[in-house]
Amino acid sequence: MLLAVDIGNTNVVFGLYRGRALEQTFRVSTVITRTEDEYGVMLQQLLALRKVPSDAIDSAIVASVVPPLTDVMCEAIRHAFAREPLVVGPGLKTGIPVLYENPRDVGADRIVNAVAAFERVKAGVIVVDFGTATTFDCISPKGEYLGGVIVPGVQVSLEGLIARAAKLSRIELAAPPHVVGKNTTHALQSGVVFGYAALVDGMVGRLEKELGFPVRVLATGGLSTLIAKHSERIQSVDVNLTLDGLCLLHARNAVALDAAAESSAAKRRPGRGR
């Protein structure tokens, strides 16, 4: 099985794939003070919880937007499963040209989402990811990553407002019965849910006009299902889009890895080069 790991600023999401089929997912809080041993133990406990033996993991791939945790997670995987994980970054074959001014500045999750989205639609597409930040990533009909937009995330915006407004308190993230809130809770819910849906629709319209080609709009991320219900432009939702992209990237790079491993093994065989 393939272990796919998406390290975000708020959560770390794990996916277990058998071939291209996603069989299990796990989600834990991102804690940068955890050690490789702690993450290793956590991984084994999560697998045990779902009755998956540790030796079932035969490969792994990691995408991270939290640099201090990248090496920690890779070490945890090495210790827990004796496997060398692939890491999304320079040198990894993605299959899409990145037309950013500095490609290294693009978050790994955004590239992974672009790979998964273009593989799915084979056309111009915008991926809206509702994470710690709400991001819009634009992919051309040729499969080129063009760039995008970064907006403060839904939860980040709400928590920032509550922290600076003495009379506001935490609310349930849900759609209110009406756009016009008749109490503070409903007013906040309207602003968050309907406001972000309107933001998405407006931004997609501006992006499509500037891009000059029609686009499909896919949404992912923890709050994508909630916001998409009230958006006119989001056409489909897949909360596992990033994990699917990681699975796809692993498959694209596995052949090259196997060839490199075979070449290395051949060089070590007795009698070679004589």
105 is catalytic: no
| Average confidence score pLDDT of the chain | 92
Q: Out of 6, 109, 129, 137, which one is annotated catalytic?
A: 109
124 vs 137: CA distance, rounded Å: 11
150, containing H or E segment: strand 145-152
DSSP 193: I
- Rounded to 5°, the CA angle 201-107-114 comes to 55
Instruction: Look at residue 254 in the predicted model and tell me its pLDDT.
Output: 83
Domains and CATH numbers, the chain: 2-87 (3.30.420.40), 103-239 (3.30.420.40)
Between residues 273 and 188, which one has the greater pLDDT?
188
The band of 249, judged by pLDDT with boundaries at 50, 70 and 90, is very high
The model's pLDDT over 172-195, given as tens digits with 9 standing for 90+, comes to 999 999 999 999 999 999 999 999
Question: What's 271's DSSP letter?
Answer: T
pLDDT number for residue 258: 58
User: According to the model, what pLDDT value does residue 274 have?
Assistant: 41
Main-chain dihedrals φ then ψ at residue 96, nearest 5 degrees:
-130, 130
Burial (0-12, 13-18, 19+ Cβ within 10 Å), 180:
exposed
